[in-house]
């Protein structure tokens, strides 16, 4: 009996390893490859049989595959794996001459159609509630197969540099320092453990249980929001990407007792096999539920990148179980330049000759575990923003690691942490994070990049500077100031203010400010707009010369009621004066205005995280709703008593016909007020015959700037992306958007305003076609034409060209 117990104890480590099966075939022909060696860390696990199959057990995440006469390959370990090896014999042309059809297999497309139709039902979010945890490790390193050659090259190079340094002292070379780092550690390492909670009643909550980034003492909150295929449909199966890939049903296999279809796919540009590989990857689809079991996806050249995502059926839904990503970043040359080689001498050049180019890669490994459903729904668990950081010093990571760190990874924290202190990486990382908010950070000061330069017809070129003391100065209060100068009006504008944070858990800011500035008449409210929306709309008044001057003070309070609802209350008192020939009701052009304002933003599906710099939106999701109401009163010396309301609704959604975007906005003025409190209709065009302008969030390409004003209006912006994606001269995928914009309104008593303008009381319309990623660039080119009531017989009046920077988004 004791002998049996001893035998069982000895076998337990082996039994704890799940058995894996690999099937290896020849690329192009599908012939099984026998006697192919499968190894892990140089140790052979076994050889394939006559059917090209091998069953084995291993702790390795990835295995190497080799066979005589074939190129080497590798595969991420799973229950069932497939690999296709390419012939290495240069005289063998069978693979290269394989004619690859340019048409997808109808059977594969029929399966993918069912995958898309049932995707929502197969997602974990179709459950009433669930919870699970994850552990992720992200690193930058040299490929493990190249480490030996890398160290040989580094030693040879350092010997050569040492010989040269005996005759002449050289300054420290930071490039060599980086190369020396790679010899002992990775260049970058980030570990993160998270907890995911979901409830149909309260939504999603993501708790960062712990994280650590080598070289950084402070967490980089903006990076914590980076997520994987966990909650989004992979690009390889999206219906709108069908024109970018060709799909072929190649096999069906059993995985854990369940039948799976195997669909191979390749990019449409794979007309001839690159490096004798026929496909980009494989999709494994569960035959019973049509849920995704696994995706193996490679770059066009496999050494440039691979990603493997594996799902598991738990509680009747497909949860992501693991992901492994490898992506080429740069190529590093280890060889000294020609001048140094010549000075060092060539006597040992043959001796020291080794491979001198090494690729650096980004690696991501993610595992998901501890799944539970249903879970207890407690409102307290979902309170606050979507993301919540529980710990950030790395002390708890050991609890969540699925395997211990390697010696190379452990050394990374030691080496990179010391470099982090030496080169102040924390400060540089903070500067990078600030750029995502449109700020440039220098120590305790943030500079607003959006105020650096501008242009309009009144000021001409406007140069400015805006600075704000950040949380490094004080986490609870921060003064700020700005100054600007217009070269055309030769006027100086300025403002000062101070913020008082009453909470560090959510947005709760009391602000006081004083200002003296100018603005285009009729501007639509931009309260709660993010940096990209404001940047998109920055040129809205570029051809509007109707400006007014204002000077005064404002007291406001910003508060986030929930993750989805933001509110702002304000009181202001200011003097206002037109900067163009104008008189209102024969009362002149200078007035006093006292008013109260309330602004709201509702964004139910966007995700946010609280950082020391304030709230940061990690993922913007539609719909969004913006509401502003201003009430002027004659108390405190005000000249008017009016109410002004404006609203904006944004939505962007996918459907079977493509991607549709809708923007509906409007406003109304109740009571009497000067023209600058009315609404301009946002014309972008100038007075020239050829209309060319940059895009704006609410503008019309064919409408002349400053021409139309209303006291009530409603407008819409409709865009639809045609589900046809293609590539032209570069790597970026292009597509076309069909666009329709329209606006209509009216104005009562236009005779009260003594200046030249028109009210827009008929439907103004323009239609357009926008080429996204024009010629594979990062710009969209749009062609627009005015139709309907305001169309004229002259083509140049109706036609306009518009350019848009792709990163501005919808």
Amino acid 538: pLDDT: 85
pLDDT in tens, 645-683: 999 999 998 877 888 999 999 999 999 999 999 999 999
Residue 597: left (phi > 0), alpha (psi -120 to 50), or beta? beta
Cβ atoms within 10 Å, residue 803: 13
- Residue 729 pLDDT level (bands cut at 50, 70, 90): confident
pLDDT in tens, 622-651: 999 999 999 999 887 889 899 999 999 999
DSSP class of residue 775 equals G
Amino acid 160: pLDDT: 42
pLDDT at 222 over 60: yes
Percent of the chain at pLDDT exceeding 90? 44
Amino acid 28: pLDDT: 59
| Residue pair 295/115 in contact by the 8 Å Cβ criterion | no
Percent of the chain at pLDDT exceeding 70? 83
pLDDT at 62 over 90: no
Lowest mean pLDDT, pick from 195-209, 342-356, 678-692: 342-356
Q: Which two tokens stand for residue 579?
A: 């900067």
**Is pLDDT larger for residue 694 or for residue 148?**
694
Angle between helix axes 425-435 and 407-423 (nearest 10 degrees) is 80
Handedness of CA 419, 424, 427, 431 (dihedral sign): negative
pLDDT in tens, 785-799: 999 999 999 998 999
Of 53, 225, 220, 195, the C-alpha closest to 132 is 195
- Residue 182 pLDDT level (bands cut at 50, 70, 90): low
pLDDT in tens, 6-38: 333 333 344 345 678 888 888 656 788 988 899
C-alpha 139/C-alpha 413 separation (Å) is 12
CATH topology of domain 18-98: Immunoglobulin-like (2.60.40)
Pairing of strands 799-805, 691-694: parallel
pLDDT in tens, 382-434: 988 999 888 888 889 999 998 888 888 888 888 887 777 676 676 777 777 77
Amino acid 655: pLDDT: 79
**Is pLDDT larger for residue 474 or for residue 98?**
474
Mean pLDDT of 263-280: 62
| Average pLDDT across the chain, whole number | 83
Amino acid 164: pLDDT: 42
C-alpha 494/C-alpha 516 separation (Å) is 5
Residues contacting 490, CB < 8 A, separation 6+: none
Lowest mean pLDDT, pick from 48-62, 110-124, 354-368: 354-368
pLDDT in tens, 491-507: 999 999 999 999 988 99
**Is pLDDT larger for residue 405 or for residue 218?**
405
C-alpha 676/C-alpha 106 separation (Å) is 60
Amino acid 635: pLDDT: 81
pLDDT at 71 over 90: no
pLDDT in tens, 139-148: 888 766 555 5
Amino acid 769: pLDDT: 95
Domain ranges of the chain: 18-98, 437-501, 502-808
Amino acid 733: pLDDT: 79
pLDDT in tens, 549-597: 999 999 999 999 999 999 999 999 999 999 999 999 989 999 999 999 9
pLDDT at 93 over 50: no
Lowest mean pLDDT, pick from 220-229, 274-283, 343-352: 343-352
Amino acid 181: pLDDT: 64
pLDDT at 807 over 80: no
Amino acid 269: pLDDT: 64
Amino acid 783: pLDDT: 95
CATH class for domain 502-808?
mainly beta
pLDDT at 339 over 70: no
DSSP class of residue 434 equals H
């Amino acid at each position: 009996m004791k002998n049996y117990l001893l035998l069982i104890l000895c076998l337990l480590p082996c039994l704890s390893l799940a058995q894996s099966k690999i099937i290896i075939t020849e690329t192009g022909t599908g012939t099984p490859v026998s006697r192919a060696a499968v190894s892990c860390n140089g140790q052979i696990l076994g050889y394939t049989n006559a059917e090209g199959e091998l069953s084995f057990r291993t702790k390795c995440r990835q295995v190497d595959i080799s066979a005589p006469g074939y190129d080497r390959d590798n595969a991420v370990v799973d229950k069932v794996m497939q690999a296709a090896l390419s012939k290495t014999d240069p005289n063998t042309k069978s693979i290269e001459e394989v004619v690859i059809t340019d048409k997808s297999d109808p059977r594969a497309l029929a399966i993918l159609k069912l995958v898309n139709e049932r995707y929502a039902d197969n997602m974990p979010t179709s459950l009433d509630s669930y919870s699970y945890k994850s552990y992720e490790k992200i690193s930058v390193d040299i490929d493990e197969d190249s480490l030996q050659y890398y160290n040989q090259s580094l030693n040879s190079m350092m010997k050569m540099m040492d010989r040269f340094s005996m005759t002449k002292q050289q300054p420290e070379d930071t490039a060599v320092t980086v190369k020396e780092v790679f010899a002992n550690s990775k260049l970058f390492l980030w570990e993160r453990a998270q907890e995911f909670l979901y409830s149909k009643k309260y939504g999603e909550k993501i708790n960062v249980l712990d994280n650590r980034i080598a070289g950084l003492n402070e967490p980089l909150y903006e990076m914590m929001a980076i997520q994987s295929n966990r909650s989004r449909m992979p690009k390889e199966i999206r219906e709108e990407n069908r024109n970018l890939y060709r799909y072929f049903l190649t096999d069906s296999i059993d995985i854990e007792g369940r039948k799976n279809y195997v669909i191979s796919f390749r990019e449409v540009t794979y007309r001839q096999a690159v490096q004798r590989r026929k496909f980009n990857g494989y999709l494994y689809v569960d035959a019973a539920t049509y849920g995704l079991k696994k995706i193996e996806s490679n770059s066009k050249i496999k050494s440039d990148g691979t990603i493997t995502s594996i799902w598991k059926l738990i509680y009747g839904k497909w949860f992501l179980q693991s992901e492994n990503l490898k992506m080429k970043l740069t190529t590093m040359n280890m060889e000294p330049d020609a001048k140094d080689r010549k000075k060092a001498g060539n006597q040992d050049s043959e001796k020291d000759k080794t491979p001198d180019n090494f690729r650096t890669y980004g690696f991501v490994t993610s595992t998901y575990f501890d799944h539970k459903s249903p879970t207890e729904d407690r409102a307290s668990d979902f309170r606050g923003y979507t993301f919540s950081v529980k710990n950030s010093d790395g002390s708890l990571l050991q609890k969540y690691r699925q395997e211990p760190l390697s010696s190379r990874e452990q050394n990374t924290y030691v080496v990179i942490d010391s470099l982090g202190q030496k080169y102040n990486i924390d400060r540089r990382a903070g500067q990078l994070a600030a750029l995502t908010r449109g700020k440039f950070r220098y120590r305790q000061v943030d500079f607003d990049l959006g105020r650096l330069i501008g242009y309009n017809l009144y000021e001409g070129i406007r140069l400015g500077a805006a600075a704000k003391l950040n949380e490094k100065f004080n986490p609870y209060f921060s003064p700020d100031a700005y100054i600007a100068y217009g070269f055309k009006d030769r006027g100086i504008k300025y403002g000062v203010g101070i913020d008082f944070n009453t909470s560090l858990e959510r947005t709760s800011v009391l602000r006081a400010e004083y200002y003296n500035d100018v603005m285009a008449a009729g501007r639509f409210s931009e309260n709660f707009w993010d940096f990209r929306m404001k940047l998109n709309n920055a040129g809205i008044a570029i051809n509007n010369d109707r400006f007014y001057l204002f000077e005064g003070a404002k007291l406001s309070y910003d508060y986030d009621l929930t993750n989805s609802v933001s509110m702002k209350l304000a009181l202001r008192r200011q003097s206002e004066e037109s900067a163009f020939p104008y008189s209102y009701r024969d009362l002149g052009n200078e007035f006093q205005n006292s008013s109260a304002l309330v602004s709201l933003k509702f964004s139910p599906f966007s995700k946010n995280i609280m950082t020391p710099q304030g709230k940061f939106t990690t993922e913007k999701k539609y719909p969004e709703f913006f509401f502003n109401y201003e009430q002027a009163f004659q108390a405190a010396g005000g000249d008017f008593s009016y109410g002004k309301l404006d609203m904006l609704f944004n939505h962007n959604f996918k459907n079977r016909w493509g991607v549709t975007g809708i923007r509906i906005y409007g406003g109304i003025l109740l009571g009497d007020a000067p023209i600058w409190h009315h609404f301009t209709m946002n014309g972008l065009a100038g007075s020239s015959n050829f209309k060319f302008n940059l895009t704006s969030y609410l503008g019309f390409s064919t409408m002349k700037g400053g021409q139309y004003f209303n006291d009530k209006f409603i407008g819409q912006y409709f865009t639809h992306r045609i589900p046809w994606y293609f590539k032209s001269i570069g790597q970026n995928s292009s597509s076309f958007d069909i666009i329709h914009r329209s606006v209509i309104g009216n104005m009562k008593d236009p005779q009260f305003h003594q200046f030249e303008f028109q009210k827009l009381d008929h439907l103004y319309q323009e239609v357009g076609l926008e080429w996204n990623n024009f010629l594979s660039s990062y710009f969209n080119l749009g062609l627009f034409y005015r139709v309907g009531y305001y169309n004229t017989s002259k083509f140049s009046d109706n036609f306009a060209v518009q350019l848009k920077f792709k990163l501005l988004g919808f």
